[in-house]
């Protein structure tokens, strides 16, 4: 699928929760074909920041423009996005494949063959008959990754995507991210695995006391 050059413009983005400026006047410009790493201590607001970018949480003030469209006004969520924030959640009684089929039915952009290819890429192809409820935590994480990447979205938000993965799984994820960057996807990462974050990121941003600043 050909995608246009994607851009996200953030101006004076602020989120107040319980009288605390979790995000405090953040400004940034992100574009397709690049990987951005967001670093910050636990509780610094990375998940809140990502949740605002995908339209799940409304900002208290400021704006997010995705391809010049104002999020929350012109569009309620980005048109083409793959997201991992927190633990994956799927239907326990369905197999991994059936869960992906359900998600794919929303946009009807990818075939069962492509879903199977994605299952193979994340090394779940041989477990096709196992229901999600019987998955290990690593398999759950791999299915979450498959769901985020399968439609080749323009934007990928991956918050803690390496958790539960073994080293082979981390390599697999790195490969998927690099391939997404090659097809001009815009990728935002936050991860406790600092090596992973530094190795992949073209630019690093830091979140400290609500302030977002560009790093080296």
Ligand X SMILES: Nc1ncnc2c1ncn2[C@@H]1O[C@H](COP(=O)(O)OP(=O)(O)OP(=O)(O)O)[C@@H](O)[C@H]1O
Residues numbered 194 to 213 that lie near ligand X (CB under 6 A) are: none
Q: Retrieve residue 74's tokens.
A: 């012109």
User: Stretches 35-43, 133-141, 162-170, 174-182: which one binds ligand X (CB under 6 A)?
Assistant: 35-43
* Closest to 134 measured CA to CA, from 172, 99, 175, 179: 99
Q: Interaction with ligand X in 11-30: which residues (CB under 6 A)?
A: 17-18, 22
43 vs 167, which CB is nearer to ligand X? Answer: 43
Question: What's CA 214's distance to the chain center, in Å?
Answer: 20
Q: Using CB under 6 A, which of the segments 29-37, 41-49, 169-177, 180-188 binds ligand X?
A: 41-49
Q: For residue 56, give every residue at least 6 positions away whose Cβ sits within 8 Å of its Cβ, in sequence order, or none.
A: 77, 85
Least Cβ distance, residue 17 to ligand X (angstroms)? 4
Q: Residue 201 and residue 199: Cα distance in Å, rounded?
A: 6
Residue 47 interacts with ligand X (CB under 6 A)? yes
- The interface with ligand X within residues 102-121 (CB under 6 A) comprises none
Q: Does 43 bind ligand X (CB under 6 A)?
A: yes
Tell which residue, 213, 109, 122, 133, has the closest CA to residue 175: 122
Q: Which residues bind ligand X (CB under 6 A)?
A: 17-18, 22, 40, 42-48
């Amino acid at each position: 699928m050909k995608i246009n050059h994607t851009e996200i413009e953030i101006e004076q983005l602020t989120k107040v929760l319980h009288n605390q400026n979790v995000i405090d006047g953040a400004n940034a410009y992100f574009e397709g074909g690049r990987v951005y790493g967001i670093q910050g201590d636990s509780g610094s607001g990375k998940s809140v920041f990502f949740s605002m970018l995908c339209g799940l949480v409304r900002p208290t003030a400021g704006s997010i423009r995705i391809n010049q469209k104002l999020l929350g006004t012109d569009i309620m969520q980005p048109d083409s996005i793959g997201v991992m924030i927190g633990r994956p959640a799927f239907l326990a009684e369905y197999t991994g494949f059936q869960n992906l089929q359900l998600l794919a039915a929303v946009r009807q952009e990818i075939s069962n063959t492509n879903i199977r290819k994605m299952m193979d890429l994340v090394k779940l192809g041989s477990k096709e008959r196992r229901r999600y409820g019987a998955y290990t935590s690593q398999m759950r994480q791999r299915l979450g990754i498959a769901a985020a990447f399968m439609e080749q979205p323009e934007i990928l938000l991956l918050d803690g995507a390496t958790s539960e993965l073994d080293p082979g799984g981390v390599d697999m994820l790195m490969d998927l991210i690099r391939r997404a960057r090659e097809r001009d996807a815009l990728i935002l990462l936050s991860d406790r695995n600092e090596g992973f974050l530094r190795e992949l990121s073209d630019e690093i941003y830091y979140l400290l006391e609500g302030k977002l600043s560009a790093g080296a």
